[in-house]
Every structure is written in structure tokens, then in C-alpha cells.
Structure 1
Amino acid sequence: MQVGERIVARCRELAGITDVEGETTRTFLSPAMRRANDQLAAWATEKSFTTRYDAAGNLHILRNADIVTQKTFLLASHLDTVPNAGAYDGPLGILLGLALLEEAPPLPFHLELIAFSEEEGVRFGFPFIGSKALTGELTEELLTRTDTHGINVREAITAYGLNPGELPEAILHPGHFGYLEFHIEQGPVLEHEDRALGIVTAIIGQSRLQLTFTGKANHAGTTPMHLRHDALTAASEFVLATETLARNTPGLVATVGRLTPYPGAGNVIPGEVALSLDVRHADDSVRHASVEALLATANSISVTRRVRITHTFKLDQPAVPMDTSLTGLLAEAAAPTRPLTLASGAGHDAMVLAPHLPATMLFLRTPGGLSHHPDETVLPSDVQLAFETGLRFLERIANV
């Protein structure tokens, strides 16, 4: 069995460890998370690697160098899932990292693999609990956030048998000098370009807003078309304008994912429509300009259609570039696979770590572009290529 096939088999095994029978669901510090960590630790101890848990529930697996050194290179991804998930979003990166710890030749630095306890934001409504513990960004405000059962993060950590007072011990130490994350692309680009692997240059910035068009509800049968103040037609025009701008702006993606008309009756002209707007681009200046253009369009539509428009910003996440030096070494290591260079449209733990130490990412092709779905899959041959790329990458780091 090739290493790539072994990695895929392990991903499938972890997918069977779940809090919900018949699907793959693991949330932060759940019973299934404990069982999944136990399985990872069992694989690690077969090779006599050192394992430990930090106070955020991250599992650390350490392969010590044969020489005396403080230098440690990190490999990591997340072990939690969305509800009814696939087998590869997160765990694939962990198991590729474990294979590198198992198979890499002696290196002049320690290799540390981290299975982050949380990235998806499912249980507490905010993401990256695992990686934020490494950067000291689990603030007191975040620790008091509650889940649907009224349990806050601090209480969940304590109930799991960990000590929130030890969170500072999870923070990166000066010997950590770089970070690599493997991840499925979660999109169709690599498959469309017939490439197995992708070199991530940046994790794109995001703007999230809520817009509300307010007109006047009235009877659908007795109000002539020219006398209407229809909030839904105004919102619909805005949705199409959003699509047009994104199609005509290279690299921009813009989405209206939620649109709620009120009162929502078939025989009533909608008097109010609230909608979400999600705008993303690798260049923050382009993203900000696009948001301003869309808000100007919304104002223009509101005047023409005689409705009012208001908006609220929900998120302004800057783009996070990957380290150019590490990314260059990764591109050299991946060269035999003809990798594509691309930006990530989704958030990843690498964006949390990148401001604190050099970080890079390698994407693997996602057949059908399908992710966050039980049918999510990978090609074992792609996983093998990613593993071989990882070996060459570590060799290049060792020779720098």
C-alpha cells in the first residue's frame, strides 16, 4: 500500500468517529473529538512520538530531532467538522502531517504536528479556537461565549478535563520557525485546470454586510405597478448588480446568500427585504472598492425604486498573504506535479498563524469541487503527490 492510500484509509477511519450516528460530526471538545484524538495518539505512539494536549484541547505530536536544537517546524490542520461532513476537510492535513513524521529522513529540527481542536466555528459561533490558543488570541470575551446549551468555552474546557488557566502554555515558543498546512481546495479550480496540487499565495479578505431595503407593503391586487414601493424588486436588482460586478472584476467573488422578504405573503407587496452580502478578494483595496461600489449601487436603486436602504458591517477580515520564502520552497518541491498558484477563498488556521510565524499552504484537488458534504473526496494519487511534495519541502528547509 502506498503512503497516499494509507492516509486515505486513516481519513475514512476517523470519519467513522462521530457524535451523530450515520454521519460525520465532531465539534469542539465533544465525546467524538476525544475518541478521534485517542486514535491519532495511538498511531503516533506506534512510532514512539511524544504526545500531549494543551488547554484548548489541541493534540500535539512531536518527533524529536537527533541533534540538540530548539528549532521546531509545525505541521497542522483541524480535527473538528461541520455537521454531516466529509472525511477530508481538516483530517487530511493532519494525516498527511503524521505520514511525514513517520517517513521523513532525519532532519536538523523537531517536527511538531498539531491536530487543532476547533476551526469550523460550529459549537460556539466563532472559529479557530484551536489555532487562536497558539497565538494568545483566546481572549476573556471569547472564553465567555456560550453554546446552545448555555455552556461557555471556559466551562467546556474544564468539563473536558483541561485547565483554562494553562492556556498561556499553548502559545508558540521562539523555537517555532515555520508552518505548513495541507488542505483540500474545497472548490473546483484545480480540477477545472487538471492540476493535482495548488500553491496558496494568500487567504483572501472578506467583507460581510447586511443590507435592508425598506419600501411599503400593500395589496398585490389593488396597487398599480407604477405606484408601488416594492422592496423585493429593489433587492432583486441589487442581487443581479452584485453578480455583474463580480463577473467583471478579476478575482472578486460576491454572494447574496440570504434574502428575507417581509411580510412574506403571496398577495402582499414586500415592504422590507433584509439580505446578506459576502465580498471576497485577495487584494484588500479591490475588495473595499467593490464594497463601496455596491453600496453606491444600492443607494441608486433605492432612489429609482422609491425605497430606503440601510446597511450594517458584520465582518471586515483583511487578506492574509503566505510567507514568500516558504511558499517559494513549497513551489519548488511541488514543481514535478505542475502545481497551480491560487488564493484561498475560504478561511484556514494558516491565516491565524501567518501573522506570528512564516506560514504556507498546499491545496489538493477536490473532485467535483465538493466540500462540507458527506460525498467530499480526494484522489489517492493526489494524496501521494502531496506527501512526496512534503518530503521534498522538508528537505529544502533542512538545506536552507
Structure 2
Amino acid sequence: MATLLGAGPGIVAAGARRTMTRCDGLASVSSSSHGIERVYLSAEHARVNRTVAGWMREIGMTTRVDAAGNLVGRLERATPSGAPDLDAPALVVGSHLDTVPDAGRYDGVVGVLMGLEAVRMLREPGPDGTGWRSPLPFALEVIAFADEEGTRFGRALLGSSAVAGAWDPGWWSLADDGGTTLHEAFVAFGLDPARVGEAARRPEELVGYLEAHIEQGPELDERGESLAVVSSIASARRFQIVVEGEARHAGGTPYDRRRDALLGASEAALAVERVCRAEHHVIGTVGRLETFPGAVNVVPGEARLSLDLRGELDDARDRVWRSIEREVDTIMGRRGLRWRSAEVHRAPAVFCAPLLQDVVREGIVSTLDRGVDDPATIFSRAGHDAMAIGAVTDVGMLFLRNPDGISHHPDEEVSAGDVARGTRALAEAVLQLAADRG
């Protein structure tokens, strides 16, 4: 493959160092004194938007905060006369700036900042003259999505859903732990709930979407590789499960008279693991378990547990859920318990567009030793903003190695060397797509 990017290794390495430093700086913007926590429509959200907008303007991008609170930087396509073409469709590069509680500093953030460095490489010749300025046949945008994690209101992908035109008016009544509704938070942030639809983009406005992200798993680390092409993003279903038994005195109730909801729920959680282990590429997680009345001297009369179910393909995910239902029916029948489930989230698998997989692959190959042309291709078990954006345009993703695969945790890590290679690959992918479009 012919390398199109002219930036020398010094420029690429400097960009990676800048990205790592900026990740450290943004990690200090937190609502918690014990770790990183930055949620939607908070003071911390506003602060990182202002900070990153300043970095966007440094490289010649215009900036705005859209009607859902997402930060958008744009570099216009130039016409033959040199005037900006304000109506040109845009290739969007993006990820998110919000976090889970007690987060790592790279999830989402590193993808946004790598996007900025890729724009820098494409926009400006380096001081040593080895950089490369190229007119693109489309505008280039970097979007820092506002609420990928769903930490505050319990509904993920709010920012990217707004951009995809998929905002649900039923979300306005969602409330955070303090009782503030999403509608009230919009107003407090300075947004107009009646105008949220203005964040939506039309397919004809977009060329596609590219997202760089750390892999939130160990596959690249185990393979000893820095970068991967993402083939698809896992389908997901989430359930709230309630197990009903009978609350009785802990000391006075013999085992043969107990209908212990906690034991039934615990056995159900083990059944989730057993069923999912037997099915390739399906993962089930019970992340929350509560009991009621919750007294130390009372047999639990009710238990509530969550189930997060993810699979590479929708039909495999659904087949596993049916198997879990049968297992839980058996468990509860044997223990004299009742149970019910409510689905609270469903998302289909999203497949990355073949063309965008190809340009990402070519971008990665440009970073490899000569003669090596077969980078890893893996599917993402974690969700990303690309899932929502896939409803309005083609999407592609690039993964970076995450040592030990740990994420959503302070020990989350990525190396400056991998960031350098990933940023170069991302910029190269943009140029490959530009070449494809003539």
C-alpha cells in the first residue's frame, strides 16, 4: 500500500505525547475526589467541552455545542477558489468525554484526542517540512459525544442518539440519583429541550463515521499487536429480574420451609455463567443484586438482579436468553419461588461498513513493518457511540491495545507508542477514504 500521509515520525510522536498529557489533564476534571467521574450535563461536562473546544480551535476548526450538549469541531472542505464549502458533507471522527464512576482516563477520551491529532497532521505541515497538507473531498469533523456511558440517567448513548435522530421524548422523565430529571438538567445546562431535534444529522450530510477506542478486553494484548480493525459491535439486551419468595424469621424457619429469594437469585446468576460459557461469543453479566427486606435476621423475601447479555450476532444472543429462561424456570420451580423479567434495553449488532473496514486496515498497515499486511480484525464486545451513529451513516472503528484488557477502572492503560501508531493509522484512513472518493 502506498502511504499517503507525509508526517514524519517526530511529528507523530509529538502528537502522541500531547494526547497522553491531555488525557492526564482531563482526568483531573472530576466530580469525585476519589477518582474520575464526569457525567452528562454537569459542570465537569461543560468544563471539558470548553477545554477541548480550545484545542480544536488551535488547529483551525470551528466549534459549537449542539442541541444535545455534544461538542462539534469542523474543518471545512475548500473549493477550487480556496473558499470554504459550507455545504460539503462531513467525515466524522469521534468518541466520548463522559465516564463511568471511578473511571480510567482513556476510555472515549483518547479517541477524541487522537482525532484532533489526526486533523493536525492533515491540516498543517510540520516545522521540519515533512508534514503534508492535502485538500479533502469532504469536510472533516471531530465530535466529542456527551453521554455514551449513561452514568447519570441510566440510559446510554444519549448524545449520539440525538445526532442519529433517535431521541425518545420518553427520556425527559429519566431522573438521576438526586431526583433531577433529564429535562431539568437540560435547562440547567443552558440547553432548550424543545430544540434537541436540531442535533440530528441527515444521511446526506455525512460521508461516514470513524471511531478510535481502546479495546476493552485483552485480545490485542494477548496477540502482541498494537491495533485492530473492528468488524462489528456486539448486540446487547439488558433485563431486570425479580425473584419472589417469602420473608420469614431467620432463626425460626427451618430449611425445608424456606423460600429464600436470594438463594434462587444466586443460583440464577450461576446459571447465566454456565449457559454463556457454553455459547461462543456470548457474554452474560449479573452486575447488580439486591435483597429485601435486607435485614440480617430475615430470610430474603425478594431479590432483584440485573442481566447484561451481549453477543456478536443477534440470533445467538436471543438463543442464549431463551436457554437462561428455561434454566431459571427450573431453578425457581425447584425452590418454590416465582420470578419475572423486564427487558430494559435492546440494541442490535452493528456491522462496520466494508469500505471503512478497508480504509482502517490500510491505515494500520501503513504503521507496520514492510511486508506485514494482515492486522487483527476483531469484534467489539463493548458498546460504543458508533452503535447509534450507524443508524444514520456508515461506521468504522479502530482499536488500540489495552494492556491486560482492563477498562472502566483506574488501571486502564494505553501506551504512547500505540497512540502514535493509532493516530497515524487514523489519519491514513481518512486519506485512503479521500482517495477512494476521488
TM over 0.5: yes
Confirm or deny that 1:62 pairs with 2:81.
no
Partners of 1:323 and 1:354 within 8 A in 2: no
Q: Does 1:188 align with 2:206?
A: no
**Residue of structure 1 equivalent to 2:355:** 325
Q: Secondary structure at the match of 2:331?
A: helix
Q: Are residue 108 (structure 1) and residue 108 (structure 2) matched?
A: no
Note the 1:133-212 alignment, pairs <5 A: 133-173=162-202, 174-212=204-242
Which of 5, 14, 24 is the aligned partner of 1:12? Answer: 24
In 2 relative to 1, CA 129–278 (structure 1 residues): closer, same or farther, beyond 3 Å? closer
Deviation at 1:371, TM superposition (A): 1.9
SS at match of 1:2: helix
For 2:379 and 2:183, the matched residues in 1 are separated by: 34
For residue 320 of structure 2, what is the amino acid of its counterpart?
A: S
C-alpha separation between the residues in 1 aligned to 2:427 and 2:190? 36
Identify unmatched segments of 5+ residues in structure 1: none
- Structure 1's consecutive aligned runs of 4 or more residues displaced over 6 angstroms after TM superposition are none
Q: Do residues 366 (structure 1) and 396 (structure 2) align?
A: no
Q: What is the match of residue 120 of structure 1?
A: 149
The aligned counterpart of 1:129 is: 158
Please give the alpha-carbon distance, in whole angstroms, between the structure 2 residues aligned to 1:372 and 1:388.
26
Alpha-carbon separation, structure 2, partners of 1:205 and 1:73: 25
Q: Which residue of 2 aligns with 1:94?
A: 112
Superposition pairs of residues 1-400 of structure 1, within 5 angstroms: 1-21=13-33, 23-67=35-79, 70-104=88-122, 105-106=133-134, 107-173=136-202, 174-218=204-248, 225-226=255-256, 228-264=258-294, 269-335=299-365, 337=368, 339-400=375-436
Deviation (angstroms), 1:172:
1.4
Following superposition, the deviation at residue 11 of structure 1 comes to 1.2
Q: Which amino acid aligns with 1:325?
A: L
Q: Distance in 2 between matches of 1:162 and 1:218?
A: 51
> C-alpha separation between the residues in 2 aligned to 1:312 and 1:349?
25
1:161 is aligned with what amino acid? G
Preserved CA contact (<8 Å) 2:59 2:119: no
Deviation at 1:60, TM superposition (A): 1.4
Letter in 2 for 1:117: A
Q: Is the 8 A contact 1:67 1:108 kept in 2?
A: no
Percent identity over the alignment is: 38
Residue 102 (structure 1) shift: 0.7
Q: 1:296 to 1:330 in 2, by over 3 A?
A: same
Indicate the SS of the match to 1:80: coil
Cα 1:222–1:341 shift into 2, 3 Å? same
Aligned equivalents of 1:375, 1:326: Cα separation in 2:
31
Tell me if the contact between 1:206 and 1:319 (Cα under 8 Å) persists in the aligned partners: yes
Give the paired residue count.
400
3-state DSSP of counterpart to 1:123: coil
**Mapped partners of 1:293, 1:35: distance in 2:** 47
Describe the SS at the equivalent of 1:250: coil
Q: 1:78-130, CA deviations, whole angstroms, 9 ceiling, x for partnerless residues?
A: 11222332221111111000011111241222111111122221222222222
Distance in 2 (CA, whole Å) between partners of 1:147 and 1:264 is: 23
Closer, same or farther: CA 212–52 of 1 in aligned 2, 3 Å: closer
Q: Which moved more, 1:148-157 or 1:234-243?
A: 148-157
SS in 1 for 2:270: helix
What is the Cα deviation at residue 149 of structure 1? Answer: 4.4
Inter-CA distance 309–74: structure 2 relative to 1 (3 Å threshold): same
Question: Which amino acid letter does the alignment assign opposite residue 95 of structure 2?
Answer: S
Once the 2 structures are TM-superposed, how far is the Cα of residue 271 of structure 1 from its aligned partner? 4.1
User: Residues 125 and 241 (structure 1 numbering): CA distance in 2 closer, same or farther, change over 3 Å?
Assistant: closer
> Relative to structure 1, is the Cα distance of residues 324 and 15 closer, same or farther in structure 2, using a 3 angstrom cutoff?
same
Q: Which moved more, 1:333-342 or 1:194-203?
A: 333-342
Question: Retained in 1: the 8 A contact 2:164–2:391?
Answer: no
8 A Cα contact 1:55 1:157, kept in partner? no
Structure 2 letter corresponding to 1:196: S
Amino acid at match of 2:341: H
**Residues in 2 aligned to 1:342 and 1:249: alpha-carbon distance in whole angstroms:** 18
* Aligned-CA RMSD value: 2.5
Q: Which amino acid aligns with 1:29?
A: L
